[in-house]
Amino acid sequence: MSDLPEKQVKRLKSLIQDAETNLAAAKELLISLVGDDPTVQRASLDEVAGKVIEGVFDGQAMIGPDGKTYPVPANYASKSKLVEGDILKLTIADDGSFLYKQIGPVPRKQIIGTLVQHDGAYYVEVNGREYRILLASVTYFKANIGDQVTIIVPEDSPDAVWAAVEAAL
């Protein structure tokens, strides 16, 4: 019976570790669904009343039909793997919060390159060409300079400047 408390302690430690892992996974899933920007409304589009604007993602922001730029949370863009040319719908709720939804993804292709950094920005170099990527993608995938990275680019846009990160290899 002397080892009974030791077994219980080990079991409790295991349960706590499992709970922490599950909590971290739940938080990551929540962030992937709604982002972690407090200005983003955490409700479905159907529940939100407000102004609706459709626009095109330019790699960092949404450009509305009037040419106005609307900020897209980097975590949302990164985890949703948005690429240049994707059509987004922005609902600006009555309380001023923003809710984005991707409604028209452009055709995509995946390519592999090397992560580089210069001028304070991150790029993936592929056959002598560089595609800019979001810092949020670099941190999310825990990528390091020199790592091989799979990126997603618009299939029909040879002049694309931005790419989304699919995975760090």
pLDDT of residue 2: 55
Boundary-marking domain end, from 78, 104, 130: 104
Residues 128 and 116 in one domain: yes
Average pLDDT over residues 128-152: 96
Is the domain of 52 the same as that of 98? yes
On the question of pLDDT at 27 being above 60, the answer is: no
Phi, psi angles (nearest 5°) of residue 143: -80, 150
The answer to whether residue 1 is domain-embedded is yes
Instruction: Provide the b/e sequence for 92-130 (b: ≥16 CB within 10 Å).
Output: bbeeebbbbeeeebbebeebebebeeeeeebbbebeeeb
Residue 149: domain span:
108-168
On the question of pLDDT at 83 being above 80, the answer is yes
pTM: 0.70
In a domain? residue 4: yes
pLDDT exceeds cutoff 80 at 33: no
CATH number of the domain at 130, please: 2.40.50.140
Residue 10's SS3 state is: helix
Domain contains 40: no
pLDDT over 50 (residue 112):
yes
